[in-house]
Structure 1
Amino acid sequence: MRKLNTLTDFDSALLRGWRLVAFAGHYSRLGTLGLGRTNRVLRYHSVGGGFYDDFPPDRLRHDIEYLDTRFEIVDLPEALSTGGAKRIALTFDDGYRDFYRNVVPILREYDVPATVFVIADAVDDPSFDHNDDEYEYMDREELVELADEDLVTIGNHTGSHPRLGELPPERLEPEIAGAKRRLEESLSIDIDRFCYPYGSYSEEAADVVRRTHDIGVAGRGRRDAISPDTDPALVPRVNGANPFWEVQWDLSDSATRVGSACDRFIGSRA
């Protein structure tokens, strides 16, 4: 099984270098001049919960106000359609309880949609924690309530949150398709959206996602543009929890052009 993305020390150095490029691009206003029309998907985790990539609810309000005045905030599938104004979709990983407490009221306040990706084991077992951290996840009752929320769509984030790119083929089906069935049965809804934990995937994992879901979101939103050629099973995303100046740069078409040129020059797929 060939891994398609593995973060090395060299890749980490490239990511640090990218932040310097983002700083220069933003403060030179190159990003503002090159916002363009290429759609983006933003990735968030914790909002006011103290967990991974956490930032305060007021920062999310600030982000949404900025996005809403410059772009069209759309539901995830609409970000794959081109034409018209630049479209931005919001996604939240892991299904932390702060999504229910802090994010949903903000979505209602601004009337914008979002997708939240939940872990099947966390729904079935209140004591579940990935990475041995004491995360606080939404429970089944909260998710059932959210299933009736027009602005929220629940997606699949695997059964146990593993790095799919490192799993043997026989474990992919239970983690992807099996988790989808479990969530559908538990919440009495259809699940057609998938998120790769850690952005890790293999060709085999992507094949299972293509067969079982309509959309799968991954990483590399800095450098891979969403276009008519985008694989719906591997939609790139930008980390919305980065410093806001970096997010502004990463949303621009200038960032994609610079990042793609770096990829061609260095040969990196980080």
Structure 2
Amino acid sequence: MVLSEQTMLRGWRALAFAGHYSRVEALTDDGLNKVLRYHAVGSGFYDNIDPERLRRDVEYLDAHYELVDLPEVLESSEQKRIALTFDDGYRDFYRNVVPILREYEVPATVFVIADAVEDRSYSHTEQFDCEYMTREELDELVDEELVTVGNHTRSHPRLGELPHEDLEDEIAGAQRRLGSLLDTEIRRFCYPYGSFGERAVELVGETHDFGVFGRGRREPITQSTDPAAIPRINGANPFWEVRWDLSDTATAVGMTLDRFV
């Protein structure tokens, strides 16, 4: 029997609720590292959360885990490591997120769509009239020691559905454009919608140091994780669910369920 994605999501959320409030999540904690993904923070766009919610998240995470830059989650450590990432390059990252990063001295990666930097009328979705960071704001962030700017493709397509001949422009072409516009090396990549195929991952591995995706995947991040395909969990979910997803218990349960679904 093949279950729909929505059915699996509802089932996982019910399991997360039971696991968190029964404290089963705390039974094991071997230090499996995780990456959190966020989108909008205070702008009302996709997966929006309030800035105060993000501040509470960061305060909790900083007190219970080691908050690190993205590459460091691939290294072993005595304490569980968490890295923060933000997709789409919304202007609220500059206005609302960066002050919180500075307040707690926490690093983060923000993934930018190349077309949005040059075309102020651009929007990658019809659902929202998105406001993206300007080139001037991105120039400032390039010099911000806590922030790393990454590549989120040229136009935010589903890479898993693109012909192979279009992947170079969306991945490597966008990397070159962003690097030229911002006068910096762009070495990190994020797959839009969590969609990719084998060739996309190969191309990211050839052109970038790290690639991340996020569609609820629960596999652990270890030193053997492919740097071009690092899984993430959704930080914009209710925080009880985030705490469950961060736990090693959730990872173990999720990996077991994935064998049968």
Q: Confirm or deny a common fold (TM above 0.5).
A: yes
Are 2:55 and 1:67 aligned?
A: no
Q: TM-score, normalised by structure 2?
A: 0.97
Unaligned runs of 5+ in 2: none
Residue in 2 aligned with 1:171?
166
Residue in 2 aligned with 1:243?
238
Give the aligned residue type for 1:135: C
| 8 Å Cα contact 1:38/1:226 also seen in 2 | yes
Are 2:196 and 1:201 aligned?
A: yes
Equivalent-residue separation in structure 1 for 2:114 and 2:84 (angstroms)? 21
Are 2:147 and 1:152 aligned?
A: yes
Aligned ranges 1:99-178 → 2 under 5 Å: 99-132=93-126, 133-178=128-173
Aligned pair count?
259
Shift, 1:223, TM fit = 1.5
- Secondary structure of 1:154's counterpart equals strand
Shift, 1:33, TM fit = 2.7
Residue in 1 aligned with 2:181?
186
Larger RCO, structure (CA 8 Å, separation 6 or more): 1
Residue in 2 aligned with 1:95?
89
| 8 Å Cα contact 2:150/2:187 also seen in 1 | yes
What is the percentage of aligned positions where both structures have the same residue? 66
**1:166-204 per-position Cα deviation (integer Å, ceiling 9, x unaligned):** 000011000000000000000000000000000000001
Aligned ranges 1:252-267 → 2 under 5 Å: 252-266=247-261
2:36 to 29, 32, 42: 42
1:17 to 11, 16, 20: 11
Equivalent-residue separation in structure 2 for 1:237 and 1:162 (angstroms)? 19
Shift, 1:76, TM fit = 0.3
Instruction: State the superposition RMSD in angstroms.
Output: 1.2
| 8 Å Cα contact 1:224/1:256 also seen in 2 | yes
Shift, 1:36, TM fit = 2.9
Runs of 4+ in 1 over 6 A off after TM superposition: none
- Secondary structure of 1:131's counterpart equals coil
**1:211-259 per-position Cα deviation (integer Å, ceiling 9, x unaligned):** 0000000125552110122110000001000000000000001001101
